Structure 1
Amino acid sequence: MTSSERTRLGMSAVLSGERRGFGAKFLFVGPAVIASIAYVDPGNYATNIQAGAGYGYTLLWVVLMANLIAMLFQALSARLGIVTGKNLAEMSRDNFPRPVVWAMWAVSEVAAMATDLAEFLGGAIGLALLFNIPLIWGMAVTAIVTYGILIFERKGFRPMELIIGTMVAIISLCYLVEIFIAPVNWGSAAVGLVTPDLPDAAALTIAVGIIGATVMPHAVYLHSGLTQNRVVIRNDTDRRKVLRFSNIEVIAALAVAGMVNMAMVIMAASAFHQGHSDVAEIETAYHTLTPLLGSAAAAVFLVSLITSGVSSSVVGTMAGQMIMQGFLHFHVPIWLRRLITMLPAFAVVAIGFNATEALVMSQVVLSIALPVPMIALVIFTSRRDVMGDFTIGPAMRVLAILGATVVLGLNFVLLAQTFGVPIPFLVG
């Protein structure tokens, strides 16, 4: 019997009341942990370093806001999958007009490629710096390792959940170490966490990048699919139990991811803001960390970056596969999907484009693509003919609409800024 089969049997025993205890609930842990890796991917490193170095602790509130929005939408995504048995892409294909479906698929594919660009480049940059090898070789190693991990998906859902969960733990531990090494001004960090402020237009671009790096389109799609076929749900009582376990897992997993993101900004603010505020690239951050905080801090930074790049690249490929199959009902071999999503990253390096700048811009692209799955998710989870008794209530619907509105609003402001339209409330 495989680990996935044992887990499925254990969950069924918990739902039937045959198995109890705190440990039994850990059987339900998995989908949100996999989705959470999208919230600590290399795109976060790029935007968080820029935020901390350039603006100190000022933009911490953006990280907090983005994380709360992420919690809400990941919970809604899991809810859709648990209640309907279908993922968001499949629901969109079955319920929207064909032109809308094609448009959603196109936007989602662009988002998936932008996601993989950030993840793939991040892992490659970390390997190149750690082992002092050319970036292109770092990319090749990243490609081989991620494909090797993806093979475990054939063994069922549990091995992949355990592998990704271990990687999340490594990243979290690395940033716990960084926080102890860095000279943090905790008072200023607390103020930045609760005081909304966008000092200038450049801060807005970084803020949108933070949201694009935190609330991820592919993670919204993926979570609804990860809940499929995990456990046999016999009735609405079982469904309520699974939803309760899912909501607890979402809060816990994304709280950890949120704290890691805050730790990234805090580390960059404490290490770079005074005297090195121009640090905007991952490579520069690494080389600057060594004289400032020591070689141990720099090495821990790279270990976390490599782990983040490899794990999030695996999850990004899984999401891309699910998006294509859901929208088009078309299966692509995993090696081909991996090859397609790697090509933009190799193209960026081949033409000599700045890797960290590409990371940040990819997050802005993600933020602009994000309203597509967010709006679809709000529509489906609000429909009684889709969700039945599990339709979200008025309060949650208002919060979901508010979260989507915040993202849409920031995107419109960013587009206005890009095309030179004056933004009255921004200074400088």
Structure 2
Amino acid sequence: MGKTKKSSNKLVRFWRILGPGLITGASDDDPSGIATYSQAGAQYGLSTLWTALITFPLMATIQEMCARIGLVTSQGLTGTLRTNYPKPVLYLMVLFSFPAIIMNIGANIAGMGAVSNLLVPSINANYFSVAFTIILLVLIILLPYRKLASILKYLCLVLLVYLVVPFLTKQDWWAVIKGTFIPTITFDKDFISMLVAILGTTISPYLFFWQATMEVEHMKQKKKHIIIDKKVINTMEKDVNSGMLFSNIIMFFLILTAGTVLYNGGIHQIDTVEQAATALKPLAGNFAYLLFAIGVIGTGFLSIPVLCGSLSYILAETFGWKQGLDKKFHQAKAFYGVIIVSLILGLLLNYIGLSPIKALIYSAILYGLTAPILIAIILHIANNKKVMGEFTNGKRSNILGFTTLIIMTVAAVILLYMQFVGD
């Protein structure tokens, strides 16, 4: 009894330290990401499972740097850029980030609407999309940061449904182990494109901005001024590492689900989340289908506030507007105005003939172009003693950080080649 109580207390304490890192990591598995991971599994079976092991340390390292920058400078990443770098660099980031995030929001809203239509066919998908947009607007504008963060934190638990789905069907666990620990790389255009897509979906620039800013917001909510020391940094690292591990575990199980159920069922082309959900139904049963669909809607509610919030913080810090999810609407009208406009523009993408798939392709290109530049800047800031003081990067962070930079740069070059030069 005593041991059970101790374990329970440990879990409660661990849950309490989780915050911005968990939310950031979980929001990375948005409907767009689910579509990408489902396609990877459907097209290549278990051959891309190993990518979850590779992306975790890379993703965790960059997000930890962003979080540390936020804690030490008490500014978001954009504010730090504005203070320490030429303005053209800042404006270039804004120029690329704005359309990419809007298209990502649009694709996620469309995915939520389409999956809801599968669950309730009598209601048109567009009606669901409009309803979700209104609900999100009301929640983001009316709820103070503490309540919104709490809701987002618990929404992360929705992703746990994806840990259940693979166990609803028979698995060849030896094949799973091989796919996880023995990398498979096929040097053809489609397979390389899929690896690039997985990297771009997992290591997304908007998460860099959100992580840094949320650390600042999180510290503001503390009742007393907190001095940044090694203990605070260690707590942040646990939060970030846990969030990124959670994100990559969900990614692993999404690929596993599609790689066993869809691939083995002869379905090798999945372009949207609703296609993945529909394909699961006859192969894995109604329960698996229902869990998958509910997960898509839940992740939409989790990721869209992160997307539009990231964009709002980027613009607010760039132009010096009053900002913060802890402020009421009348205290930060421009800040909330960006959130409203980004959600409406994202919704309208579904009505102007731009398909969610094209929106994802375009946003992936823009993310692919900005990610290496941003990672290089993050590395520079994190090693700058004038900015970071005693909390500059250690050797391990630099090794993993520069490895991420090289990999993302190669991915960006491949992406551009395949879009504009390749057949």
Shorter-chain TM-score bucket reads 0.7 to 0.9
Q: Go from structure 1 to structure 2 and tell me whether the alpha carbon gap of 1:330 and 1:165 turns closer, same or farther (over 3 Å shift).
A: same
Residue 175 (structure 1) aligned to one of 145, 162, 167:
162
Determine if contact 2:61/2:401 at 8 Å carries over to the other structure. yes
Deviations 1:153-193 (A, max 9, x none): 4x23x322221111110221x11221211333222222222
Q: Go from structure 1 to structure 2 and tell me whether the alpha carbon gap of 1:308 and 1:77 turns closer, same or farther (over 3 Å shift).
A: same
5+ long unaligned stretches in structure 1: 1-19, 423-428
Amino acid at match of 1:371: P
1:219 CA drift (Å): 1.2
Partner of 1:418: 419
Partner of 2:42: 53
Amino acid at match of 1:143: T
Residue 215 (structure 2) aligned to one of 215, 218, 227:
227
* Alpha-carbon distance between aligned partners in 1 of 2:11 and 2:168, rounded to the nearest angstrom: 35
1:26 CA drift (Å): 4.5
Partner of 1:425: none
Determine if contact 2:130/2:347 at 8 Å carries over to the other structure. no
Deviations 1:355-412 (A, max 9, x none): 3454355334323322233222111011011111111123321220111110111110
* Alpha-carbon distance between aligned partners in 2 of 1:23 and 1:284, rounded to the nearest angstrom: 38
Q: Is residue 409 of structure 1 aligned with residue 410 of structure 2?
A: yes
Residue 276 (structure 1) aligned to one of 267, 280, 291:
267
Residue 150 (structure 2) aligned to one of 162, 184, 189:
162
* Alpha-carbon distance between aligned partners in 2 of 1:37 and 1:225, rounded to the nearest angstrom: 16
Partner of 1:193: 180
Deviates more, 1:383-392 or 1:412-421: 412-421
Identical pairs, percent: 22
Partner of 1:325: 316
Determine if contact 1:82/1:227 at 8 Å carries over to the other structure. yes
Deviations 1:26-82 (A, max 9, x none): 443211122123221011111011100000011122233223211111111111111
Deviations 1:188-241 (A, max 9, x none): 222222333332211222222212221121111111111112444554xx5211
Deviates more, 1:374-383 or 1:343-352: 343-352
Q: Go from structure 1 to structure 2 and tell me whether the alpha carbon gap of 1:292 and 1:357 turns closer, same or farther (over 3 Å shift).
A: farther
* Alpha-carbon distance between aligned partners in 2 of 1:114 and 1:370, rounded to the nearest angstrom: 16
1:335 CA drift (Å): 5.2
Q: Is residue 76 of structure 1 aligned with residue 76 of structure 2?
A: no
* Alpha-carbon distance between aligned partners in 2 of 1:402 and 1:103, rounded to the nearest angstrom: 24
Deviations 1:318-344 (A, max 9, x none): 111111112221355465323432355
Deviations 1:260-302 (A, max 9, x none): 1111110001111121113333222222211111111111111
Residue 282 (structure 2) aligned to one of 260, 282, 291:
291
Determine if contact 1:145/1:310 at 8 Å carries over to the other structure. no
* Alpha-carbon distance between aligned partners in 1 of 2:273 and 2:400, rounded to the nearest angstrom: 35
The residue correspondences of 1:26-425 to structure 2 (distance < 5 A) are: 26-132=15-121, 133-153=123-143, 155-156=144-145, 158-172=146-160, 174-199=161-186, 200-228=188-216, 229-231=220-222, 232-235=224-227, 238-274=228-264, 275-331=266-322, 333=334, 336-356=337-357, 358-359=359-360, 361-421=362-422
Task: Give the TM-score, by structure 1 length.
Answer: 0.86
* Alpha-carbon distance between aligned partners in 2 of 1:259 and 1:25, rounded to the nearest angstrom: 18
Amino acid at match of 2:239: E
Amino acid at match of 1:262: F
Amino acid at match of 1:184: Q
1:142 CA drift (Å): 1.3
Paired residues, number = 398
Q: Go from structure 1 to structure 2 and tell me whether the alpha carbon gap of 1:376 and 1:145 turns closer, same or farther (over 3 Å shift).
A: same
1:351 CA drift (Å): 4.0
Q: Go from structure 1 to structure 2 and tell me whether the alpha carbon gap of 1:407 and 1:167 turns closer, same or farther (over 3 Å shift).
A: same
* Alpha-carbon distance between aligned partners in 2 of 1:38 and 1:170, rounded to the nearest angstrom: 11
Deviates more, 1:117-126 or 1:252-261: 117-126
5+ long unaligned stretches in structure 2: 1-8, 323-332
Determine if contact 2:101/2:363 at 8 Å carries over to the other structure. no
Amino acid at match of 1:369: T
Amino acid at match of 2:201: A
Q: Go from structure 1 to structure 2 and tell me whether the alpha carbon gap of 1:240 and 1:130 turns closer, same or farther (over 3 Å shift).
A: same
Determine if contact 1:147/1:335 at 8 Å carries over to the other structure. no
Secondary structure of the 1:307 match is helix
* Alpha-carbon distance between aligned partners in 2 of 1:279 and 1:96, rounded to the nearest angstrom: 42
* Alpha-carbon distance between aligned partners in 1 of 2:226 and 2:124, rounded to the nearest angstrom: 54
Determine if contact 1:321/1:334 at 8 Å carries over to the other structure. yes
Amino acid at match of 1:295: N
RMSD of the alignment, in Å? 2.3
* Alpha-carbon distance between aligned partners in 2 of 1:314 and 1:201, rounded to the nearest angstrom: 34
* Alpha-carbon distance between aligned partners in 2 of 1:361 and 1:188, rounded to the nearest angstrom: 34
Determine if contact 1:124/1:139 at 8 Å carries over to the other structure. yes
